[in-house]
Amino acid sequence: MNQLKALWIYRGFVLGSVKREFQLKYRNSMLGAAWTILQPLAMIVVYAVIFSQIMRAKLPGVDATFGYSIYLCAGILTWGLFAEIVGRGQNVFLEHANLIKKISFPRICLPVIVILTAGVNFLIIFGLFTLFLVVTDNFPGWPYLAVFLVLAIQVLFSIGLAIIIGVLNVFFRDVGQLFGIVLQFWFWLTPIVYPATILPAKITALLVFNPMATFTRAYQKVLVSGGVPDWQDFIWITVISLGLCVFGMRLFQKRSGEMVDEL
């Protein structure tokens, strides 16, 4: 409760920082905020060109014109939100070391700024993706609403993980380097550019232990097939996400006073 109260008191600082980050990111750039769209779009185009001919045969019942592109977007865009939150979260205290040392403010504001900035970037591109679904007559209808609940759980998972890694990285700098490598393997071990059906049965069975595989499968089921996620899959992952958030906040509260000395 104290952290929430502090965030409310410093809400102007948080929102101003988000606005400033967004402006600085695209200052002196001719295309400006268009880069938010172009970067993930370039990745999607590359994967679509390389894998589409191979993967179309592996996606039975999916429209060959846009099916694989939608499948890619469903995974890549939502993975991008996760990767931005945890990727920036792991270094957020190190990057703002001078600010932490010179100014007295609630340190929890920094992860919140990261989350809000990532959220703004995601909403821009996912909104355009939704428009694409409508224009191409691939909008899934009312099951689309399920995306927001899945997103909420994913953001909780990302927040908890980002705070834990961010705090540990202050005291053990190898944590950030190691997690960067883990994130690369994690991407390719998640069925985003390929369907899980092409994997051997033994590996497919292990996907149940990959939370991001559960998230991407839910998005793909809604956005590609127009179905509803299997909510039973989200019971354990919701518990884990809440547990990560609670543990992350306790770790942060316990170690925040020691951070200045380590920065």
Contact assessment for residue 129 and residue 77, using Cβ atoms and an 8 Å cutoff: yes
User: Mean pLDDT throughout 164-185?
Assistant: 90
Of 48-62, 189-203, 245-259, the range with the lowest mean pLDDT is 48-62
Q: Rank 11-25, 81-95, 147-161, 182-196 by mean pLDDT and report only the highest.
A: 147-161
How much of the chain, in percent, has pLDDT values that exceed 70? 82
CA distance 156 to 226: 25
- The tokens for 190 are 């998640």
Tell me the pLDDT of the chain averaged across its residues: 83
| Alpha-carbon 181 to chain mean position | 16
Pick the more confident residue, 97 or 182: 182
CA distance 162 to 3: 17
pLDDT in tens, 76-98: 889 999 999 999 999 888 887 88
Q: Indicate the pTM of the whole model.
A: 0.86
